[in-house]
């Protein structure tokens, strides 16, 4: 079949890219080849704009078992086991079909974990929506949350943490980032590299349908007018549970050579990537692919993104064994091809050959583009903000301002979200949502555990992409340390607008630079990640959102720290971060202003504070910890009081020249610590040893939070304000 003029643009290839393909092949591609090139050279699969930037990030450390390039990254937990983890986006599908988009995002990230031989033990999610006073945003929010809970709950993997943020920039383009973490013996990790000439390629799991066609390409184009409803996949979490258990059984008994899930670009990406990693060729016969719809073409079969499917590479003598295991789990298995030694991806439909292309053309020859980094005009305007133009609040307004901030959707409790998630199934969860700054999971059979947190202040990144990205790394690590853990590794999801124009091109370049700078300073490598570009509505990009998730290890689960204090505890402020109104929730929520520059991050001081807190956590005894972030010091104190039901009297004279900056200004490098009074000397000695500022704030007790110059705020009033933040009428129908 001859390719029609401009047909390549329908699969997100430019004129120049199509010409490059023709030059490589020495001929026009077939229709199936064109579709496969479109998928593999898409931004989603080929990372055309981001790949050169990602190569600058630090990815190595002595404890890194697997870095970027595999289905997920892995770090050594120090006891013969590795934590395997990754975060990915499902933004574009969720904007169209929020329930299924979010649900299949969960299913996809879980497959990335168990395909490496790891048992998934927890999920987290990072979400972004437009303001909840709009019906459409209520619909997206309600159904995304329901989709995450619906899939994870049915699958039997707990959702233990995450974060959510609301801003007008996400109107029409929500972000749904799903993270999964699993556990595996280090010698049990399986890589997705096809090998062994003559080995068979098997497709297992669900039958193939027409859902998901060109999902990888539609999320990689700058086409605000296109309708993408037809590409949304429909998930089946119960089938995924069967698939997960069957795959883990096969991997445990050594039945397979390699395993790869079918995600974006379906069979195309899984086969091509496996062959590329193993430096081999593959011969596929789509006539052998089980399908649930009649009349499907080779094009549709190769590009379908039907869910709950996996590709296996195995020696021919293990096929019967594999089939028997799958049959026990009520799953089908089909041999659809073989591994070859010619380096070609060959796709046949019976006797008819539709594809015959060197594998490296689809991977190594994928073009990359330099992203421009010219500073956009809006930054000059936002930097002109002078916080002295904002009138300070009076002592009498402290209470009303605090309760107002606690009722902000960006600060108040997320209880209405996490109550829809089963966060205790599998019985590994020690700290679930809301109990600590990071989720804490026990590692059964060992005294230690794992802490994991996901963070990004999108407003900071908008106002200063470099500094905002550094803040995302620092806060994610800080939250893990506040749970008592030592950070081991990061995974990230880079959510930006079009890299082809301002301001997203500048934001992307500078944010990646910021990520790398902070990771190197804190000695925490990035071991996996994902990039989602073209997040725009009518060419208006979302706030740049480099989501960062940190995984840390606790040597002893008893050394964990929670957002808590007990009657009579001393309350300390650790760290010397200077509060600022720039980019704060106070400025946005109370004054409707997003301006200024993010608080300054002294990364060396941050490292010293994190090291001090790790030593403190390991010193024994009950210790509470909570970082000071969105909303500032007053909000952090209120959150500790609400969580424990115990008030506090703050007596320290820490008020600067302005009350609003003191209590609601935001900063990095500040943590509230609650500890028994008899340990005052110990904590002050540690602070001196690590050259970290420390201030005694007051003492926990009573049923009110009393700030200097106030009569006190009852905990119940503070809790009611926080509980009101996300109370909306659940929007079931499409708005």
Integer Cα distance of 602 and 452 in angstroms: 23
Integer Cα distance of 43 and 668 in angstroms: 33
Long-range Cβ pairs for the range 30-33 (8 Å, 24+): 30/1, 30/354, 30/355, 31/1, 31/3, 31/299, 31/354, 32/298, 32/299, 32/302, 32/347, 32/354, 32/355, 33/354, 33/355, 33/357
Taking alpha carbons only, the member of 548, 554, 390 closest to residue 455 is: 548
Tokens of 170: 């996400």
Q: What angle is formed at CA 356 by the lines to CA 46 and CA 290, rounded to 5 degrees? A: 85
Given the residues 90, 354, 423, 589, the one annotated as active site: 90
Dihedral (CA of 92, 97, 98, 101) sign: negative
Strands (E) located in 603-682: 624-627, 648-650, 671-675
Q: What is the 3-state secondary structure (H, E, C) of 323-342?
A: HHHHHHCCCEEEEEEEEECC
Integer Cα distance of 279 and 340 in angstroms: 10
Place of tokens 């008899």: 678
Given the residues 44, 49, 423, 471, the one annotated as active site: 44
Question: Could you give the angle at which helices 15-25 and 31-40 cross, rounded to 10 degrees?
Answer: 120
Q: Parallel, antiparallel, or unpaired for β 64-66 and 81-89?
A: unpaired
Backbone angles phi, psi at 26, to 5 degrees: 75, 20
Taking alpha carbons only, the member of 724, 595, 580 closest to residue 664 is: 580
- Find how far residue 424's CA is from the centre of its chain: 20
Contact criterion met (CB below 8 Å) for 595 and 582: yes
Place of tokens 């996949």: 233
Q: Which helix (H) or strand (E) holds 300?
A: helix 298-303
**Local structure of 431: helix, strand or coil:** strand
Exposure string of 653-678, with b = 16+ CB inside 10 Å and e = fewer, is eeeeebbbbbbbbbbbbbbbbbbeee
**Local structure of 25: helix, strand or coil:** helix
Integer Cα distance of 139 and 149 in angstroms: 15
Integer Cα distance of 663 and 573 in angstroms: 13
Strand partners, 537: 540
Strand partners, 440: 431, 451
Is residue 626 part of the annotated active site? The answer reads no
Is residue 423 part of the annotated active site? The answer reads no
Contact criterion met (CB below 8 Å) for 84 and 120: no
**Local structure of 728: helix, strand or coil:** coil
Exposure string of 557-569, with b = 16+ CB inside 10 Å and e = fewer, is bebbbbbbbeeeb
Contact criterion met (CB below 8 Å) for 456 and 645: no
Strand partners, 413: none
Region label for 43, one of left (φ > 0), alpha (ψ between -120 and 50) or beta (otherwise): alpha
Taking alpha carbons only, the member of 111, 57, 104 closest to residue 86 is: 111
Contact criterion met (CB below 8 Å) for 87 and 76: no
Burial class, 89, CB count within 10 angstroms (exposed 0-12 / middle 13-18 / buried 19+): buried
Region label for 308, one of left (φ > 0), alpha (ψ between -120 and 50) or beta (otherwise): left
Taking alpha carbons only, the member of 604, 707, 692 closest to residue 654 is: 707
Catalytically active residues are: 44, 90
């Amino acid at each position: 079949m001859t390719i029609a003029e401009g047909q390549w643009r329908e699969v997100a290839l430019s004129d120049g890219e199509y010409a490059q393909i023709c030059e490589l092949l020495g001929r026009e591609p077939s229709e199936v080849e064109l579709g496969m090139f479109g998928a593999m050279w898409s931004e989603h699969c080929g990372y055309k704009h981001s790949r050169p930037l990602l190569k600058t990030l630090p990815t190595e450390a002595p404890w890194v078992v697997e870095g970027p390039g595999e289905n997920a990254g892995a770090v050594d937990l120090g006891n013969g086991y590795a934590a395997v983890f990754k975060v990915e986006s499902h933004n574009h599908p969720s904007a169209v079909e929020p329930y299924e988009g979010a649900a299949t995002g969960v299913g996809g990230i879980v497959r990335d974990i168990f395909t490496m031989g790891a048992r998934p033990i927890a999920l987290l999610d990072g979400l972004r929506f437009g303001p909840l006073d709009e019906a459409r945003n209520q619909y997206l929010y309600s159904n995304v949350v329901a989709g995450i809970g619906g899939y994870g709950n049915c699958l039997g993997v707990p959702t233990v943490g995450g974060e959510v943020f609301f801003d007008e920039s996400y109107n029409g383009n929500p972000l749904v980032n799903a993270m999964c973490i699993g556990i595996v013996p280090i010698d049990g990790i399986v890589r997705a590299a096809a090998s062994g000439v003559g080995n068979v390629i098997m497709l297992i799991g669900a039958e193939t349908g027409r859902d998901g066609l060109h999902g990888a390409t539609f999320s990689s184009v700058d086409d605000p007018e296109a309708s993408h409803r037809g590409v949304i996949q429909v998930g089946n979490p119960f089938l995924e549970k069967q698939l997960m258990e069957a795959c883990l059984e096969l991997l445990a008994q050594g039945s397979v050579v390699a395993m790869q899930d079918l995600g974006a670009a379906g069979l195309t990406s899984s086969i091509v990537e496996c062959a590329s990693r193993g430096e081999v060729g593959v011969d596929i016969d789509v006539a052998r692919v089980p399908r649930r719809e009649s009349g499907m073409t080779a094009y549709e079969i190769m590009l379908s993104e039907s869910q709950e499917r996996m590709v296996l590479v195995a020696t021919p003598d293990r096929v019967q064994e594999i089939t028997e295991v799958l049959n026990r789990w009520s799953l089908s298995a089909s041999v659809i091809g073989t591994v070859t030694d010619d380096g070609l991806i060959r796709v046949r439909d019976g006797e008819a050959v539709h594809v015959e292309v060197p594998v490296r053309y689809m991977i190594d020859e994928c073009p990359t583009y330099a992203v421009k980094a010219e500073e956009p005009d809006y930054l000059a305007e936002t930097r002109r903000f002078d916080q002295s133009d904002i009138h300070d609040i009076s002592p009498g307004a402290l209470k009303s301002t605090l309760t107002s901030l606690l009722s902000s959707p960006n600060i108040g409790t997320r209880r209405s979200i996490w109550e829809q998630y089963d966060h205790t199934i599998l019985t590994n969860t020690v700290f679930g949502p809301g109990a600590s700054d990071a989720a804490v999971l026990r590692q059964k059979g060992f005294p230690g555990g794992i802490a994991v947190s996901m963070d990004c202040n999108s407003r900071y990144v908008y106002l200063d992409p470099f500094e905002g990205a550094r803040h995302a790394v620092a806060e994610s690590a800080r939250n893990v340390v506040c749970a008592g853990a030592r950070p081991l590794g990061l995974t990230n999801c880079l959510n930006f607008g079009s890299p082809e124009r301002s301001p997203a091109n500048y934001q992307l370049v500078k944010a990646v630079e910021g990520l790398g700078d902070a990771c190197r300073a804190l000695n925490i490598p990035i071991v996996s990640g994902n990039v989602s570009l073209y997040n725009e509505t009518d060419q208006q990009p979302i706030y740049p959102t480099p989501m960062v998730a940190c995984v840390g290890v606790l040597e002893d689960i008893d050394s964990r720290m929670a957002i808590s204090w007990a009657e009579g505890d001393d309350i300390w402020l650790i760290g010397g971060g200077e509060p600022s109104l720039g980019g704060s929730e106070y400025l946005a929520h109370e004054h409707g202003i997003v301006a200024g520059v993010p608080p300054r991050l002294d990364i060396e001081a941050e490292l010293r504070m994190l090291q001090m807190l790790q030593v403190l956590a390991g010193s024994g005894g009950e210790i509470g910890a909570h970082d000071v972030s969105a909303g500032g010091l007053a909000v952090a104190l209120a959150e500790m009081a609400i969580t424990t039901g115990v008030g506090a009297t703050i007596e320290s004279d820490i008020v600067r020249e302005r009350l609003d900056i003191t209590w609601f200004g935001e900063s990095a490098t500040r943590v509230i610590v609650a500890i028994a009074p008899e340990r005052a000397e110990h904590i002050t000695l540690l602070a001196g040893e690590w050259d970290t500022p420390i201030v005694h704030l007051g003492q926990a007790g009573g049923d009110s939070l009393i700030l200097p110059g106030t009569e006190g705020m009852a905990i119940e009033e503070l809790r009611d304000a926080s509980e009101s933040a996300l109370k909306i009428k659940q929007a079931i129908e499409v708005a």
